[in-house]
Amino acid sequence: MFDTVREVGSVRAVEPVRLETIEDAVLPEAGEAVYAGFPSPAQDYWSGDIDLGEHLIRDRTSTFIVRAVGSSMERAGIYDGDRLIVDRSITPQNGHIVIAILDGELTVKRLRSDRGRISLCAENPAFPDITIAELSDLTIWGVVTWVLHRASRV
């Protein structure tokens, strides 16, 4: 439903799925906040529904879901198998997490620009940053706006 795996050079990549092809997700919302500090007595009622699309998607026509593969972005909270909501209408800025196509290969990295030098930076010290060489072919495909992953594997 979310993606199709394909080969791009030596890298496994996923075909993005446009969000307008996925049914709206409307869920009930609890009326009380959940405290991350000390427990508080819980109210057992719902305050209404919440439309996840309204909160997660800025522009349906340019928003896609892609699946992350690998561990290079773990310190940014992106883990192997996570779904990334990517908006192609956002102009990439220094510090954004982006989906990039570098010399024909897809990657998710943090975009850095310093004095005219562009780098794609991993968020895991086991992976080197990639400084973009002058003759490299770089396309920023989209900006990651949300990361979806399970709180625990059940």
pTM of the prediction?
0.73
Helix (H, G, I), strand (E, B) or coil at 54: helix
**Around Cβ 114, how many Cβ atoms within 10 Å?**
9
The answer to whether 47 is a known catalytic residue is no
Could you tell me which residue, 9 or 140, shows the higher pLDDT?
A: 140
DSSP 25-47: -EEEEESSPPPSSS--PPP--EE
Which residue is catalytic, options 72, 89, 136, 152? 72
Domain ranges in the chain are 4-18+59-148
Residue 141 and residue 105 in contact, taking contact as beta carbons nearer than 8 Å: no
Q: Identify any residues that bridge with 142 across adjacent strands, giving them in sequence order.
A: 99
**pLDDT of 36 above 90:** no
The answer to whether 119 is a known catalytic residue is no
**Chain segment 37-76, per-residue pLDDT in tens:** 666 555 555 667 777 788 888 888 889 889 999 999 999 9
Which residue is catalytic, options 10, 62, 71, 109? 109
Q: Give the containing element (helix H, strand E) for 53.
A: helix 52-56
**Matching CATH number, 4-18+59-148, of 2.10.109.10, 1.10.3720.10, 2.10.25.10, 3.30.1370.60:** 2.10.109.10
Per-residue confidence (pLDDT) for residue 6, from 0 to 100: 42
